[in-house]
Structure 1
């Protein structure tokens, strides 16, 4: 059996230190976040040379990137911010295979404007559901074209906070 770990479990100053810590701990599979490479989780741009460097650093340690975090607030009440972050996630989805993975994990989000991990009464509103579908309707076709799976974890503080809502989301997206 192989067990993976979230790379941000190991705070480090650079990508090499982070991946060394993963390797030294005996893990071979990683859920990666670009913050571990000194970038934003969803950077505005990822240079091809940086993608290559990340891939090489994984390969020389014989580590597998099981998934990469595409985390942002998918129902952020700030529409402009939500759209900018959606487009950044589009770019990450397109680059995921070049980084060495075919899985991008998402946060379904909250109406809380200050903390995407804090519950908000507006999460259960029809508007929040509509906004989530709108965000995902932009991401799903890109993922399909790129051969990428989008992973969503039901999170108690987010709009998708149960297995039932996750199933409803799949049905609504016809995915």
Structure 2
């Protein structure tokens, strides 16, 4: 007999061309009741293209009317942009969104850490692995965490192989140096899979879970594959990830945390959920 799967949620990015009302209605029709939402997304902005407290309450009600809650906001941006004016703009924007979390009913906000690459936050830059970058990251996280704690919110970091936070070891170091008050991680092992890890996934997953799962209140559902452009993280079931191994670890180590679908289109949701459910068939009670 297989274990029950983690509760399935979905990222608002799946519905880029939809209004809040359309998004909520379609999500509800699929019996999904939790969303990780980005306040900056076109369909969630007001008529003037703005996000603010009043609009946050409106969006929350639109989803609540469909019995959907928004436990997590998406605040993804380059926290370590090497152009300091752009970096400060990003940090100020993040602080604004943290303050909006209570209006959405969201106790969490998630972001990546970013890269020192001047043109693309998803590209690697040698400075990412320096102590200078680490010190900058610590100072930025301390700043954002203070705002988070002041507003009853937990800041969740999502690692990525080309970012400053790019290994489970760095995640451990971050918690060791800063503590976990108002700070945690998104369990997204696909982002941390180096090319060689795809050939030894069980060991890689063990290392990632050991470092991150004690501080992860949410998880993401996608996949991992390497192309000539580097790591790609497509819809679950379309890459090289051993989903049965991911399901095994989630069910045993974090059965209560939600699993948010991402990197797919609305018409792919049904098949994606079926694939994930099948992955749990290998997990015995």
- TM-score, normalised via structure 2 length: 0.56
Runs of 4+ more than 3 Å apart: 36-39
Q: How many residues align?
A: 171
Separation (CA, whole Å) in 2 of partners of 1:75 and 1:136? 10
Q: 1:174 aligns with which of 176, 179, 183?
A: 179
> Which residue of the partner structure matches residue 88 of structure 1?
93
The alpha-carbon deviation at position 114 of structure 1 amounts to 1.6
* 1:119 match: secondary structure: coil
> Which residue of the partner structure matches residue 107 of structure 2?
102
- TM-score, normalised via structure 1 length: 0.89
| Gap runs ≥5 in structure 2 | 1-5, 181-285
* 1:152 match: secondary structure: strand
The alpha-carbon deviation at position 23 of structure 1 amounts to 1.9
Separation (CA, whole Å) in 2 of partners of 1:117 and 1:25? 32
Q: 1:70 aligns with which of 62, 71, 75?
A: 75
Separation (CA, whole Å) in 2 of partners of 1:174 and 1:38? 34
The alpha-carbon deviation at position 38 of structure 1 amounts to 4.3
- Cα deviations across residues 20-58 of structure 1 (Å, max 9, x unaligned)? 22222331111111215344xxx9x73332112111111
* 1:115 match: secondary structure: coil
Separation (CA, whole Å) in 1 of partners of 2:36 and 2:15? 12
The alpha-carbon deviation at position 136 of structure 1 amounts to 1.1
* 2:61 match: secondary structure: helix
Q: 1:20 aligns with which of 25, 29, 50?
A: 25
Q: 2:138 aligns with which of 133, 137, 148?
A: 133
> Which residue of the partner structure matches residue 46 of structure 1?
51
The alpha-carbon deviation at position 11 of structure 1 amounts to 2.8
> Which residue of the partner structure matches residue 165 of structure 2?
160
> Which residue of the partner structure matches residue 122 of structure 2?
117
The alpha-carbon deviation at position 150 of structure 1 amounts to 0.9
Separation (CA, whole Å) in 1 of partners of 2:18 and 2:105? 22
* 2:7 match: secondary structure: coil
Q: Is the 8 A contact 2:44 2:59 kept in 1?
A: no
The alpha-carbon deviation at position 119 of structure 1 amounts to 1.8
The alpha-carbon deviation at position 140 of structure 1 amounts to 0.7
